[in-house]
Amino acid sequence: MDGELPDVRASDAERDEIAEVLRDALADGRLDTDEFGERLDAAYRARTRGELVPLVADLPQADHRAASPAPRAADGWADRFGGTASSRGGFALMGAFVRKGRWVAPRTFTAVAVWGGGEIDLREARFEDREIVIRATAVMGGVQIVVPPDAEVTVGGVGIMGGFDHSATGGGTPGAVRVRVTGLAFWGGVSVERKPLQSPGGERKGLPGGASPGT
């Protein structure tokens, strides 16, 4: 990518390649969670190849990795991408909103809870694209986000006299959906939880491709 014109428009595939380099660096401990989130956000906002190159220039083998193809989606996940979003946001004012079950999640979902609560459950969802960004704001209220256990998750929100749970941040199965959560909790809370889907009998269902969920 370095030898090509820096003002050439970047493709989605090239942004994905840079994102893979950043994920490797996070897993290796070369980037902390905050820096990873900042660079990943910059990668997906980049318009040209010249904006992408500096994001990985200080990482070992960055050039080699950036030239490699994006990983093939794991069995089962490829079938969950594509379609028109059925909802792009939820708002709760002294009430509640729920998005769960079989729905099509958008590239960006905006959640606002003011003196109320919201639930966003992605375990049975289809996805408009391989990545979903959830912008959550909780003011004297709460937003609960439930993700598949094998999803890749990055949480970068801030809590002010409230809580913004970062514990679900981490890698996932190659090819699985990427979930990025940002926003603000003010006298409220935003929780992000990895949770397997349970059958009506209470047993945990397997993940796409027949894999067993982690504990």
Average pLDDT over residues 207-211: 40
Q: Is the pLDDT of residue 1 over 90?
A: no
Say yes or no to pLDDT of 207 above 60.
no
HEC profile of 22-61: HHHHHHHCCCCHHHHHHHHHHHHHCCEHHHHHHHCCCCCC
| Nearest by Cα to 127 from 155, 154, 99 | 99
pLDDT, tens digit, for every residue of 107-165?
A: 999 999 999 999 999 999 999 999 999 999 999 999 999 999 999 999 988 888 888 98
More confident residue, 213 or 40: 40
Query: What is the structure's pLDDT at 6?
Result: 55
Indicate the domain borders of the chain: 12-66, 79-210
pLDDT at 127: 95
Handedness of CA 152, 155, 156, 157 (dihedral sign): positive
* Lookup: tokens for 57: 């220039």
pTM beyond 0.85 = no
Report the chain's mean pLDDT, rounded to a whole number.
81
Q: pLDDT band at 199, cuts 50/70/90? A: low
What element of type H or E holds 127?
strand 126-127
Q: How far apart are CA 55 and CA 27, in angstroms?
A: 16
| Residues above pLDDT 90, as percent of the chain | 43
| H or E element at residue 13 | helix 12-28
